[in-house]
A and B are shown apart, each in its own frame.
Chain A
Amino acid sequence: MKRDTRLAWINGLLLPLLNVLTAFAATAVLFLLIGVNPLEAAETLLYGAFGYSEGIGYTFYYTTNFIFTGLAVAVAFHAGLFNIGGEGQAYIGGLGAGLAVFMLFPELSPWLMIPASVLGAMLFGGAWASVPGYLQAYRGSHIVITTIMFNFLAATLMVYLLVKVLREPGQMTPQTVLFPDNAWLPFVHDILPAFGLEMERSPLNLSILLAVFMCFLVWFFLWHTRLGYAIRVTGLNPHAAVYGGINQKKIIVVAMCISGALAGLVGINELIGYHHRIIMNFHLGYGFGGIAVALMGRNHPFGIVIAALLFGTLYQGGAELAFEWSNISRDIVVVMQGLVILFCGALEYMYKPTLIRWLAPVQEVRS
């Protein structure tokens, strides 16, 4: 029995920590290779992310996106599905948010307009993800391949729509007209003065509250509702799910819908919150980033917030690094995402045999 309890803390705590540290160490080696002192880089990065209020704003703005896509990947993971279609679902979610705005009267109260756009984003993102979900559940096509294909389909669809259908008349840039003022989610730097606080202008908007709310909602949903339970059982043990009377096919579709709806909310932060029009490629990288966030956050909303904050910090700090060193760009964050996915995901159990040999050698089995 002793061995089991030891395994729990090795698996649950030591292993994830070692994996993240390995990813960091690999990044530090890369910094050394390109002739940058990793400690100096870390200092610059932290200053860029938290050293001044505009930087902080950007950090949390990026964090918001990563929370949405991280949650999206996590919900699918809990159902045993690997949703790498976050990119496409976020893109189409933005389309849904924008179309909802354009469908309504420009004079409509923001109290109706903004919820409608949120609904539009979730609906479109969810619908886009439900097709691969349906095909997985009822036609047996592999969710990974279909979601990849749907990313490309989303990209071509959006290029088509923005170039041919929705483009602002008389403009060359493939983007729509500005949303009416009533569809603008307030910026945090506009709200804070009401509470006697000052903040420099940044894209940070109230979507971050939505993100935090969604974390609670996902946590409550997964661990405290019947449907959430059904999703987790389906992911953990499909046979048990069937035996327990859970309609596995339905659960797969539902889980994908929820996952896609969460990813679609990136469109709210980006378009309703900041750009105020539908633009090209606002979603780039967040869907894939969500995979790293979910893996690092162990698919738990709390862990996801921490991991999203880390990647938000890296994203904003990475921009600061680019000012300081000419051979660094924000792509360094992409490298880190790759390393995190590699070490926390694919090589999750790399250290396990060694750790067990050192810390919990097999003892006499007593029966």
Chain B
Amino acid sequence: MSEVTTLNDMWMTILLTLDATIRLSTPLVLAAMAGLFSERSGVVDIGLEGKMLAACFASASVAHFTGSPWLALLVAVFISLCLALVHGFATITHKGDQIVSGVALNILVSGLTIILGLTWFRQGGQTPSLSGDGRFFSIDLPGAELMQNVPLIGSLYKELLSGHNILVYAAFALVPVVWWVLFHTRFGLRLRAVGENPKAVDTAGISVNGLRYRAVMIGGVLCGIAGTYIAIAHNAQFTRDMTAGAGYIALAALIFGKWRPVTVLMACLLFGFLQAFAMRIEGVQLPVVGVIPVQIIEAVPYLLTVILLAGFIGKAIPPKAIGKPYVKER
């Protein structure tokens, strides 16, 4: 009897860790897909973090004032889109340095959200916490309650697959869509071409700048959704620098997944899992190894990315024209 319960406990622990993995991976998936569009078109996007943070603040504020999560999502996407357009204006129209522009946006947003938060809410830069309305709630998939008595599969279905909010499902549904757009549509072909060889695209009479603007704008929309998820679905308010480097981890996942949608998804899940795992084992005495310091696990995504970039495990080859503004010859 006791053996069965410990086995059951272990199964539940695994399920809960995986459940947390899904919740933690969601913003990474959205942001990484945003970066994927942008970088595949040849525009580096260090500004994922800033766009997400701005969306966090916008969605939390709108949700507080209106109580409508959907309106909050809309405004957050709009704000993030505006920032993406600033990035595009600087790097595509004026051929400015893409990294400098991204860094500028990140720094700008991290200060601006606090100043506006102080002005509007006077709570030390936070937004009031949302109660009840204004958040995205979890959806129970049909039959979750019925299934829960079925061994293994029942709990798997109920704990892992069911009970997330709509943005989580949207994020994971997005990946095959991105894959299809990128590899099976004319737009996707051109997008990939413009990141590899913009001159060829230009010669074919297609606007390089137009394509890049579209890619950057898609990135803005997706970052807006990611930020909304962090602020009003995963949490219930905006707090200072609440994205906490998720944008950079998404960037790492993008590189780790070698700029391909499905492998990027895997990288996001891996990094999400590492975060979930770090939370679960904090202070827990493990067999053989004892207590693993959380920091070591937290450092793994960064370490892995550095090692991969250095070409020690496989090779991450970025789109060829990445980071270079396209100057049309006259």
Contacts and interface: CB of A to CB of B under 8 A. Distances in A.
Interface of A: 30, 34-35, 82, 84, 135, 139-142, 144-146, 148-150, 152-153, 156-157, 159-160, 163-164, 288, 291-292, 295, 326-329, 331-339, 341-342, 345-350
Given A84-B103, A326-B122, A346-B91, A338 B309 contact: no
Interface string B103-144: 111111111101110110010010000000000000000000
A159 B112 CA distance: 27
A338 B255 contact: no
Contacts of A157: 295, 299
B306 A334 contact: no
Contacts of A335: 108, 111-112, 115
Nearest to A348: B96
A291 B112 CA distance: 18
Secondary structure at the B interface, as helix, strand, loop or mixed, is: helix
7 contacts: A146-B309, A149-B302, A153-B299, A338-B104, A345-B104, A346-B101, A347-B101
A140 B308 CA distance: 11
A338 B90 contact: no
B104 A327 contact: no
A34 B44 CA distance: 32
Given A34-B116, A326-B118, A338 B105 contact: yes
B293 A164 contact: yes
Contacts of A152: 245, 248, 299, 302
Interface residues of B, number: 50
A34 B115 contact: yes
Contacts of A164: 293
A152 B248 CA distance: 9
B309 A135 contact: yes
B175 interface: no
Nearest to A352: B94
A346 B311 contact: no
Contact of A334 (B89, B94, B110, B303): B110
B105 A141 contact: no
B100 A345 contact: yes
- Top 4 closest pairs, chain A to chain B, by CB: A338-B108, A334-B111, A346-B101, A141-B309
B104 A341 contact: yes
B107 A149 contact: no
Nearest to B120: A327
Interface of B: 44, 46, 86, 89-91, 94-101, 103-112, 114-116, 118-119, 122, 125, 245, 248, 251-252, 255, 293, 295-296, 298-299, 302-303, 305-306, 309-312, 318
Contacts of B107: 288, 292, 334, 337-338, 341
Contacts of A345: 96-97, 100-101, 103-104
B119 A327 contact: yes
A333 B46 CA distance: 21
B258 to A, nearest CB: 13
B311 A146 contact: no
Contacts of A346: 90-91, 94, 96-98, 100-101, 104
Contact of B306 (A135, A337, A341): A135
A327 B248 CA distance: 29
B115 A338 contact: no
A37 to B, nearest CB: 14
Contacts of A35: 119
A150 B299 CA distance: 10
Nearest to B96: A346
B103 A291 contact: yes
Of A84, A153, A341, most buried by chain B (CB within 10 Å of CB) is A341
A328 B115 contact: yes
A345 B108 CA distance: 13
Contacts of A149: 248, 252, 302-303, 305-306
Nearest to A342: B104
A29 to B, nearest CB: 12
A327 B100 contact: no
A163 B312 CA distance: 31
A19 B103 CA distance: 17
Contacts of B95: 349
A150 B115 contact: no
A144 B311 CA distance: 16
A3 B97 CA distance: 26
B89 to A, nearest CB: 8
Most chain A CB within a 10 A radius of its CB, from B46, B103, B311: B103
Max chain A Cβ within 10 angstroms of own Cβ: one of B46, B101, B104: B104
A35 B120 CA distance: 11
Contacts of A163: 295
A156 B301 CA distance: 12
Nearest to B310: A139
Given A145-B252, A339-B104, 14 more contacts: A82-B99, A139-B309, A141-B306, A146-B306, A149-B306, A150-B306, A152-B299, A152-B302, A291-B100, A335-B112, A341-B103, A345-B103, A350-B90, A350-B94
A69 B114 CA distance: 24
A141 B245 contact: no
Contacts of A153: 299, 302-303, 306
